[in-house]
Amino acid sequence: MAASSTTEIIVAIVGGVAVVGIVGVLGYASKAVSRRRGRGWVTIELRLSDAVAALPFRFSLLLVREGPDAAPLLNRGLTFTIAAHALRRLRVSYPLNSGLQFKCFADWTNRGVECPQLPEVVQLFEESGWCDITQDGLHHGRFWFILPEYATKDTSDANPYTNNWLPAGPKPS
């Protein structure tokens, strides 16, 4: 009985090491594939004022398109995670050879409380350092904004918008 238990333990340990080794190799391989495909990562941070952090907003980022306006629209939303009381973070992959257009937005999540009006939201968001704050015409409780620490790009659409822009080239520091 003891030999069987010892054998099972040895097999479990060796199997665990093999699994860890395989996972490590696959992780390395995926980094190599990412580099070969020319993609980089950037962590985007939202620093909220205490007043904004106390309100029931969910913060997200819209991946508009990878590259200039001629590139196809992605329009894929990603949600920031809460890193601290007044800090939200999101890690985004983007092509180093063509850049990334994105825009941040906040959705009012408390259906039981009236959403603040645009002038109040503009004042609150400007306290957090954001600019070009607008309210979505289709979603009453959605507010769009630009992060001033990133470059901007005006679109060439029929109704032009201003997006944040990570230009092509080396990964930003």
Task: Convert the pLDDT of each residue in 64-87 to its tens digit.
Answer: 999 988 899 999 999 999 999 999
Is the predicted pLDDT of residue 169 greater than 80, yes or no? no
Taking the model in full, what pTM does it have? 0.76
Please tell me whether residues 75 and 145 are part of one structural domain.
Answer: yes
In this predicted structure, what is the pLDDT of residue 37?
72
Is the predicted pLDDT of residue 36 greater than 50, yes or no? no
Domain that holds residue 92: 40-166
Bridge-partner residues for 60, per DSSP?
79, 105
Q: What is the mean pLDDT of the chain?
A: 83
Burial 58-96 (b: 16+ CB within 10 A, else e): ebbbbbbbbbeeeeeeeeeeeebeeeeebebebeeebbb
Q: How many domains are contained in the chain?
A: 2
Please tell me whether residues 32 and 44 are part of one structural domain.
Answer: no
Please tell me whether residues 72 and 84 are part of one structural domain.
Answer: yes
Is the predicted pLDDT of residue 96 greater than 90, yes or no? yes
Q: Are 88 and 80 in contact (CB under 8 A)?
A: yes
Bridge-partner residues for 84, per DSSP?
87
Please tell me whether residues 141 and 64 are part of one structural domain.
Answer: yes
Residue 172 lies in a domain: no
Please tell me whether residues 160 and 87 are part of one structural domain.
Answer: yes
Residue 27 lies in a domain: yes
